[in-house]
Amino acid sequence: MTSLDAERRRKHILRRECKLRVELLVRCRSRNTGEISENWVTVKAGLLNLHQNAAHIHTKEPLNENQELRIAIGFPTGVIVKATALAYSSKFLPKPEVYGVEVRFTEMSETDRARLGHFLAALERG
């Protein structure tokens, strides 16, 4: 298998076989009391690429820099990894009418970090 074939296989697994759930933190201030409420809103998104400390996703919603996110990534093996992340950069991709967003993981359990590392190593091995 050539390196080009290996890269195609890696992208196929990440984009087609991995499941992604993204929740966006929305803070609202009450006009009457001034209290701030926090709500998590699910945003439809897909996985483009995955690294040990970051991921590239696509979504139809533009995300602001430093927007707080909760992410759950389901691997084809059935393992789910959860992380808290911040949106780092968002770029409009005109052809499919979506935004490409780089997110950096800020919090992840040691168990999930080990699972992510194991999955990425298995992808590299092919």
For 44-91, the pLDDT digits (tens) are: 999 999 999 999 999 988 888 999 999 999 999 999 999 999 998 888
All residues at 6 or more sequence positions from 53 whose CB lies less than 8 Å from its CB, including other chains: 104, 105
pLDDT of residue 1: 60
Strands, DSSP E only, in the chain? 19-29, 36-43, 45-50, 54-59, 68-74, 80-93, 98-107
The overall average pLDDT reported for the chain is: 90
Question: For the chain, what's the residue count?
Answer: 126
| Contact assessment for residue 86 and residue 67, using Cβ atoms and an 8 Å cutoff | yes
pLDDT of residue 125: 83
Q: How much is the pTM? A: 0.87
pLDDT of residue 57: 94
CATH architecture for residues 3-125? Beta Barrel (2.40)
Average pLDDT over residues 29-55: 90
* pLDDT higher than threshold 90 for residue 110: yes
